[in-house]
Amino acid sequence: MSPTVFRIPEVLNISGHGIWLLVIDKEYFLPFKNFPWFKEAKISDIQDIEFFNGYHLHWPKLDIDLDLDALENLEKYPLIYR
């Protein structure tokens, strides 16, 4: 069974500091210091986002998966394993 695909998120802006996304009428900022995988990515690869099950973001060309909880609660998802 394939996952349900919802409305595609929109990349609102990319700056030297990070990425702004619009997902389900809510804006998120992904700073490069917390999401370094995007810093050297091509704009077209950042804009190629899939959205599954109402909470799962996937960038197929970058092999990046994030869920909305990670964007809303950065402190729960540190980059360093402890």
Q: How many CB atoms lie within 10 A of CB 15?
A: 10
The DSSP code for 41 is S
Residue 43 lies in a domain: yes
Name the residue with higher pLDDT: 67 or 3: 67
Give how many domains the chain has, as a whole number. Answer: 1
Strand partners, 65: 58
Share of the chain above pLDDT 70, in %: 87
pTM of the full predicted structure?
0.80
Give the pLDDT confidence of 51-74 residue by residue, as tens digits.
988 889 999 999 999 999 888 887
Residue 69 lies in a domain: yes
H or E element in which residue 11 lies: strand 10-14
**CATH number, position 36:** 3.30.2020
Structural domain harbouring 24: 10-76
Q: Please tell me the distance from the alpha carbon of residue 77 to that of residue 73, in angstroms, as a whole number.
A: 7
Q: Please tell me the distance from the alpha carbon of residue 68 to that of residue 13, in angstroms, as a whole number.
A: 18
Q: How many residues does the chain have?
A: 82
pLDDT, mean of residues 11-33: 94
